[in-house]
């Protein structure tokens, strides 16, 4: 589902970009390594900061950014207007029906998107489908315990049903042929977990 106004202000914000650039990007690179020459998808790309990180910090050759919200995709396109030299492609779409062929990407990134999706398991299945064998899945996700907190319930809008705990999320990956790799990190009182997994 699309973000409400408060969450849009929170994610379309220089502070969010700094966290993504200075903490999440370097941590995920440490866990999964660089992606030189790779074709990569940032699903739920928002205004495109993650796409920029994948080009600059991971060395990806080509990055696709996909988001459900056309307004966010327009913002991302503006960020790269005249600057991407064909290395960046944006599209509007949903993670549970990815508009890409099977085994198309070397890596897929989920920077805080799947907890916005009611049928997030279908999203995981689609991520597996578009990953090449041995392709990497990088994720940063928010737990049910976090979404149940007063502050999240009051100010933000998330699907009410089928939320996941860290354990449920990690257990779902192998069901779809994606094996978690070591090094899972937890931040903000375990509200957010960050890790990598590999398509078998």
Residues in contact with ligand SAM by the rule CB under 6 A: 1-3, 11, 16, 20, 43-46, 49-50, 67-69, 72, 94-95, 111-113, 116-117
Q: What's the min distance (Å) between Cβ of 75 and ligand SAM?
A: 9
Q: Which of 168, 118, 169, 161 is nearest to 140 (CA)?
A: 169
Nearer to ligand SAM, 116 or 198 (CB): 116
Q: Which of 55, 7, 6, 51 is nearest to 35 (CA)?
A: 55
Per DSSP, the three-state class of 41 is strand
Provide DSSP, 130-150. HEEEEEEEEEEEE-HHHHTSH
Nearer to ligand SAM, 37 or 70 (CB): 70
Phi and psi of 189, rounded to 5°?
Answer: 55, 40
Q: What's the min distance (Å) between Cβ of 178 and ligand SAM?
A: 18
Nearer to ligand SAM, 4 or 200 (CB): 4
Nearer to ligand SAM, 49 or 173 (CB): 49
Q: What's the min distance (Å) between Cβ of 1 and ligand SAM?
A: 6
**How far apart, in whole angstroms, are the C-alpha atoms of residue 3 and residue 16?**
15
End-to-end CA distance of the chain: 29
Q: What's the min distance (Å) between Cβ of 167 and ligand SAM?
A: 22
Q: What's the min distance (Å) between Cβ of 164 and ligand SAM?
A: 15
The two structure tokens encoding residue 140: 């940063």
Nearer to ligand SAM, 67 or 106 (CB): 67
């Amino acid at each position: 589902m699309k973000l409400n106004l408060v969450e849009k202000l929170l994610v379309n914000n220089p502070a969010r970009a700094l966290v993504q650039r200075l903490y999440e990007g370097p941590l995920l690179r440490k866990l999964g390594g660089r992606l030189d020459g790779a074709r990569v998808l940032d699903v739920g790309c928002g205004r495109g900061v993650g796409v920029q990180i994948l080009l600059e910090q991971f060395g990806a050759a080509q990055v696709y950014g996909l988001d459900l919200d056309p307004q966010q995709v327009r913002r991302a396109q503006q960020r790269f207007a005249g600057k991407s030299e064909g290395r960046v492609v944006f599209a509007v779409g949903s993670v549970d029906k990815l508009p890409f062929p099977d085994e198309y990407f070397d890596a897929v990134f989920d920077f805080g998107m799947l907890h916005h999706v009611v049928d997030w398991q279908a999203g995981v299945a689609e991520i597996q489908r578009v990953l090449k064998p041995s392709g990497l899945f990088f994720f940063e996700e928010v737990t049910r315990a976090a979404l149940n907190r007063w502050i999240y319930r009051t100010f933000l809008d998330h699907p009410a049903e089928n939320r996941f705990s860290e354990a449920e999320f990690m257990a779902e990956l192998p069901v779809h042929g994606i094996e978690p790799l070591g090094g899972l990190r937890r931040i903000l009182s375990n509200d957010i977990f960050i890790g990598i997994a590999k398509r078998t």
